[in-house]
Amino acid sequence: MPEKRVLIITYYWPPSGGSGVQRWLKFVKYLPSFGWQPYVFTPENPSFDIKDESLLNDVPAEAEVIKLPIWEPYRIFNWLNSHVSGGAKQNVSVDSIAPNKRTFFQRISGWIRANLFIPDPRIFWIRPSVNFLHDFLIERKITTIITTGPPHSMHLIGLRLKRKNPALHWIADFRDPWTEWGLWEKLGVGSWAMQRHKKLEQKVLNAADVVVSVTPHYIKRFEALSGRLAVLLTNGFDEDDFININYSKPKKFTIRHIGIVNEQRDPVPFMEAFQQLLTEHAEFKEHAIIEFVGEVYQPFKDYVHNRTSLHNHVRFTGNVSHQKVMECYGNTSLLLLILTGYRDPHGFFPGKLFEYIATGVPVLGIGPVAGDAATVLQQAGTGVMAESNDVAGIKTSLLKYFMEWKSNPNLIVTKGNVAAYSRKVITERLVSYLK
């Protein structure tokens, strides 16, 4: 058993699914190989939309997972929502962003989430967690802690623990921005609430021993906000996940988008180009299909439903396990990356980008051609970006990949320059900041 110990405080942990949980799950998986025993502190009864039992297989035997009950306001909101909707059972997450056509209750719940639950609805877990962890850290002789947000209440747990014991070495990991998050305006955050968010963010940035984030743009912004250096630890891919992938050329030219589709990830600009090709190119129309694997918001489903020309070419699969996602990669002709709709798309790359490039399957990204994601694709040599308003460019790229698929008897797989994004390599970099 490693003698060096580190505590990770995270809201998301298996069986919670999605990309948010995988970052620290993979760090925890590889920390023991570098001589560190990971302790994970997480809620016993969290609220999450995606469940993936297969991720439990990555929790190493060396990890000790400590769970503490959490009270969240969701039950109250769901009870109120059932009454205002005439008794219909509709679950409402005050931590989610509803589509543009929101009900009055959804708008109210969003406003409350942004203006009263500061920094987020998990604030009620802060005090009991601090009370428990202060003694736990002393008993286990743990001197390094890591908090990862969102939700940013996790950072406030770290802040209070640091105040109680200034000798703690505290790493604050930001998977997304805090006050510069692109959806505050849609939630209706007021000026008083935003000032409160900013004060809390500053306290965390000032008190943490190390500030970490996931993209070069986020690093620049956190450095500007704090006046200090921050550390870039990107997301990545796990080689173990790719061991059993069977690659085979699909019978159809199969384009796949993996992950959530919402107003921050809007495929409509891409779909406009796709529809034009269906009209202009008979062979493309005969062979091309798009599959969206993951949660898709209703306005986009309506968009597809209202266009009969797309009905035979678009599939919605819904949420699947990460293990199933890996299987999907093996018979995909082209992977689709959507950055359309983000506040700062030039400075964002989703976690799935690194799995995309690790597959060796061609990637077509829709977003800034001079952004951080474009740089990753270019360095890896596995794909290209096209601007969302460049319909001609998107069509050119689609036709190029289609003709390559048509002319090759086997699935095109290009192993690019991706070693720097290995989860194990990035964990080794993390370890250099532990004490």
| pLDDT range class, residue 94, cuts 50, 70, 90 | very low
| pLDDT range class, residue 93, cuts 50, 70, 90 | very low
Q: Are 69 and 55 in contact (CB under 8 A)?
A: no
| pLDDT range class, residue 182, cuts 50, 70, 90 | confident
Cβ neighbours, 10 Å, residue 408: 11
Q: How far apart are CA 28 and CA 23, in angstroms?
A: 9
Q: Are 315 and 291 in contact (CB under 8 A)?
A: yes
Mean pLDDT of the region 198-204 = 98
pLDDT at 82: 57
Domains and CATH numbers, the chain: 4-72+117-237+423-431 (3.40.50.2000), 74-108 (no CATH), 242-417 (3.40.50.2000)
Q: How far apart are CA 102 and CA 91, in angstroms?
A: 14
Handedness of CA 405, 292, 337, 246 (dihedral sign): negative
- Rounded to two decimals, the pTM is 0.91
Mean pLDDT of the region 366-383 = 93
Q: Are 52 and 27 in contact (CB under 8 A)?
A: no
Angle subtended at Cα 131 by Cα 126 and Cα 134, rounded to the nearest 5 degrees: 110
Q: Are 271 and 296 in contact (CB under 8 A)?
A: no
Q: Could you tell me if residue 166 is left (phi over 0), alpha (psi between -120 and 50 degrees) or otherwise beta?
A: alpha
pLDDT at 264: 80
Mean pLDDT of the region 240-267 = 92
| pLDDT range class, residue 96, cuts 50, 70, 90 | very low
Helix (H, G, I), strand (E, B) or coil at 13: coil
